[in-house]
Chain A
Amino acid sequence: MKEELAPGRSGLKMKEFPIWEKGRKGRSGFSIPKQDVEKAPLDKGLQAGSLNLPDICELEVVRHYTRLSQWNFGVDTGMYPLGSCTMKYNPKTNEKQAVLPGFAGAHPLLEPGLCQGILQIMYELEEFLAEITGLDSVTLQPAAGAQGEYAGLRIIYSYHQKQNSPRKKLLIPDTAHGTNPASAAMCGYEPVMVKSGDKGFLSAQKVAGLMDEDTAGIMITNPNTLGLFEEDILEVAGAVHSKGGLVYCDGANMNAIMGIVDMAKTGVDVLHLNLHKTFSAPHGGGGPGSGPVCVKKDLEPFLPVPRIVKEKDGAYRLSEDLPDSIGKLHAFHGNFGVMVKAYCYILSMGHLLKKASQLAVLNANYLQKSLKGILHLPYDRPCMHECVFTDKIQEMFKVTTLDIAKRLIDYGFHPPTIYFPLVVHGAMMMEPTETETKENIDSFVHAVREIAREAEENPEILRAAPIRTRVRRLDEATAARHPVLTGDIVNK
């Protein structure tokens, strides 16, 4: 039997070709409903020729995706300490609720009387998120964190327009996620970079020095991407507010401070959350996410429409009556399916959300202390929910952060976020989340210790890693030089 025809290559590492290499014209994996009406004649000039899509029977499609899934690593497979991504456990009951026919089968243009259950969920989720952040009003419309950022900045833009004080610039720390400057640019702002201080957080003095009346405000991430709380946040916010600017907070790291910090008290005017991070919805290998935006009362008039309103009689309806609204960001109401999961999570956790944050921070500090000395810790301070290490110690063996990350795969762990934040050379950003047990963290620490030893004794094994995966390190340079983005069935 030829190797390429064999179903298994080594043990259970199944070989699986692209799906269009399966099937044969005339097969089908779909139950076509009965033809209970006459066939309607059709003008040949409008008609497509035959479609260049494969015909495959049901079993073969099922096997195909089952095999692909076996090449993947998810939170359900093992510890996934990907910094800033909050890869906590995704509860299974949430998945079950989100696909109930009353939710999954609901049309987005149902009139309110026919979707009261859905509107109630959205209304209550808005209230829960307002309570958790300390802010006043919430929109659930943004489909992901980056769209939440855009929405938040767009609100700030409209606010300044309304004040007859349009502004051109926006302050963004050098530790920010790339989405921050990109969102600012889409909103027409010129990003002005703020260097973070020696201690890893912003200096109020620096911010005050950059802030002027042509600057719309600042976009901070708190806790920041070094895993540190912005200790001067009150002074930073004061400096921004004194010039008429607003404070935007990227809430990607909210998992550290639920029930502990009141974001309104920190001076934040607008904040986005990631339901697929903090609120346990799965990330789906890329999305869908959901990026609600929370604002202070005076920014409520600018929120996207429609708004969900609760009437005196307890009925919910949708209102477009918001003349200063920034408009719509989504064809309908955002990613409702993701909202259901976050709603279920909050209902299951209640006040225990605070405990979740405490344990997330405990796990990160435990990890930080356990790895200190094995890896270089550039900011040796108590951290929040994540900690950042570098490859400085391993540098002398010509071993890099990338090598360490790839070797972790061989040990059965997802690597941390690497080479981010940009201000830390060779960064490894680790976020264990609260849902990992002490034993899992110990086991991860053990793996890193082993890898550090290998770096000294046998660095070649790190440079060759991963060696236990179906494919080895892939040639990304050729992929970018000569891009192949579609398979052979596409006419090029």
Chain B
Amino acid sequence: MKKVDELNLPDDLQYTQSHEWARSEGEKLKVGLTDYAQDQMGEVVFVELPSPGESFRQKEVFSTVESVKAVAEVYMPVGGKIALVNESLRDDPEMVNRDPYGQGWLVEIEPDEPSQVQDMFDSAGYRKMVRGG
């Protein structure tokens, strides 16, 4: 497993306590699992995705990610509607490991309350949180 200093945590992303990342793309928010989360999980074997159009509150579970011997629930960083899901994960769930911030993204959200983005950490804050335990 990676040491905290080895984690790839791009500066242009926002991070949650529950290890999701989010990137603003216009009105929408792209969401995935952080390098830390994918490293802790090990090889991802299955991703259960919501249906586009479903709405969830902030911190509600919208997806589960499975490795061989672990299951992680994925939480909404902000409340909103699922605009798009990453269909390619159905055949290639390992993208979550290989390219967590790129092809391994999970969903695109249309936020109800864009200001909730401010509840998240920046890269340095997240690294500090992970280091703290």
Chain A to chain B: the 7 pairs with minimum beta-carbon distance, closest first: A480-B45, A477-B43, A476-B68, A481-B45, A477-B45, A480-B68, A477-B68
Tell me whether A73 is interfacial, beta carbon within 8 Å: no
List chain A residues, Cβ under 8 A from B94. 477, 481
* A274 CA / B94 CA spacing, docked (Å): 39
Q: How far is the CA of A477 from the CA of B93 in the complex (A)?
A: 10
Residue B66 interfacial (CB < 8 Å): yes
Give B66's nearest chain A residue, CB to CB. Answer: A480
Q: Secondary structure at chain A's binding surface: helix, strand, loop or mixed?
A: helix
B131 interfacial contact with A, CB 8 Å: no
Q: How far is the CB of A392 from chain B (nearest CB, A)?
A: 14
Chain A residues contacting B126 (CB-CB under 8 Å) are none
Determine how close the nearest CB of chain A comes to the CB of B6; give it in whole angstroms: 13
B26 to chain A, nearest CB (A): 33
A419 to B93, alpha carbons, bound, how many Å? 24
CA distance A480 to B45 in the complex (A): 6
Tell me which residues across on chain A come within 8 A of B66, comparing CB atoms: 480
Q: What A residues does B93 contact at CB under 8 A?
A: 481
Min CB distance A71 to B, Å, is 22
Q: Does B46 contact A (CB under 8 A)?
A: yes
CB distance from B7 to the nearest CB of A (A): 17
Cβ–Cβ < 8 Å partners of B46 in chain A: 480-481
> How many angstroms between the C-alpha atoms of A264 and B77 in the bound complex?
50
- The B44-85 residues at the A interface (CB cut-off 8 A) are 45-46, 66-69
Question: Which A-chain residue is minimally distant from B45 (CB atoms)?
Answer: A480
Per-position binary interface string of chain A over residues 456-492, scored 1 when its CB falls under 8 Å from any chain B CB and 0 otherwise: 0000000000000000000011001100000000000
Most buried by A among B67, B68, B93, B94: B68
The contact sample of 15 A-B pairs, CB cut-off 8 A, is A419-B69, A476-B68, A477-B43, A477-B45, A477-B67, A477-B68, A477-B94, A480-B45, A480-B46, A480-B66, A480-B68, A481-B45, A481-B46, A481-B93, A481-B94
List 13 other contacts, CB 8 Å, given A480-B66, A480-B68: A419-B69, A476-B68, A477-B43, A477-B45, A477-B67, A477-B68, A477-B94, A480-B45, A480-B46, A481-B45, A481-B46, A481-B93, A481-B94
* B6-19 interface bits toward A, Cβ cutoff 8 Å, 1 = contact, 0 = none: 00000000000000
How many angstroms from the CA of A481 to the CA of B93 in the assembled complex?
8
Total residue contacts A-B, CB cutoff 8 A: 15
Among residues of A, the one whose C-beta sits closest to the C-beta of B93 is A481
Report the separation of the CA atoms of residues A480 and B66 in the bound assembly, to the nearest whole angstrom. 9
Contacts of A480 in B (CB 8 A): 45-46, 66, 68
Instruction: Report the bound CA distance from A470 to B63 in whole Å.
Output: 39
Q: Mark A416-447, 1 if CB is under 8 A from B, else 0.
A: 00010000000000000000000000000000
Q: How far is the CB of B127 from chain A (nearest CB, A)?
A: 21
In the complex the two chains form, what is the Cα distance from A480 to B69 in whole Å? Answer: 10
Which residues from B are CB-within-8-Å of A481?
A: 45-46, 93-94
B68, closest chain A residue (CB): A476
A280 to B69, CA, bound (A): 30
Q: Considering the complex, give the chain B residue whose CB is closest to the CB of A480.
A: B45
Q: Given the complex of chains A and B, what is the CA–CA distance between A306 and B68 in angstroms?
A: 42
> Whole-angstrom distance between the alpha carbons of A480 and B65 in the complex?
13
CB closest residue in chain A, given B69: A419
On chain B, the residues within 8 Å of A419 by CB distance are: 69
User: Which chain A residues lie closer than 8 Å to B43 at the CB level?
Assistant: 477
User: How far apart sit A420 and B68, CA to CA, in the bound complex (Å)?
Assistant: 15
Tell me the complex Cα distance, A244–B45, Å: 45
Task: A480 to B94: give the CA distance in the assembly, Å.
Answer: 11
Report how far A476 CA is from B46 CA in the complex, Å: 13
Query: Which residues of A are found within 8 Å of B68, using beta-carbon distances?
Result: 476-477, 480
B97 to chain A, nearest CB (A): 9
The docked-state distance in angstroms from the alpha carbon of A480 to that of B70 is 12
Give the docked Cα–Cα distance between A492 and B43 (Å): 27
| Best-surrounded residue of B43, B69, B93, B94 (most CB of chain A within 10 A) | B43
- Rounded to whole angstroms, the CA-CA distance of A419 and B45 in the bound complex is 19
Minimum distance in angstroms from A182 CB to a CB of chain B: 13
Please measure, in the bound complex, the distance between the C-alpha atom of A419 and the C-alpha atom of B68, giving whole angstroms.
13
